Amino acid sequence: MQALSPLDLEREFGLTGGDIFHGCLDLDQIFSLRPMMGHADYRMPLKNLYLCGSGAHPGGGVTGVPRRNAAREIIKDFRRRRV
């Protein structure tokens, strides 16, 4: 068995404060506010840069849902550019 403290998780895996959810899932960090207002559509301010990790909606954990959602938006953008 291995036990890891929040400090171990932060140092070993880069999980700030040992938080697997990449920031608390408080009211100011959910839905259209994750990761912050204006950037909840997986598109970042830099062209062709997408957020698809725990910092994106619907949040952290090991679900793969942020990746799936970001991939959906990337495909939409790709199709728009080709038309």
pLDDT in tens, 11-64: 988 877 777 776 667 788 778 888 888 888 999 999 999 988 878 888 776 788
pTM over 0.75: no
Per-residue three-class SS string for 1-64 = CCCCCHHHHHHHHCCHHHCCCCCCCCHHHCHHHCCCCCCCCCECCCCCCECCCCCCCCCCCCCC
Question: Is residue 73 assigned to a domain?
Answer: yes
**Interatomic CA distance for residues 33 and 65, integer angstroms:** 17
Higher pLDDT, 18 or 77: 77
Question: Is residue 1 assigned to a domain?
Answer: no
Query: In the chain, how many domains are there?
Result: 1
Question: Is residue 70 assigned to a domain?
Answer: yes
Please give the backbone phi and psi of residue 43, each rounded to the nearest 5 degrees, phi first.
-90, 135
Question: Is residue 65 assigned to a domain?
Answer: yes
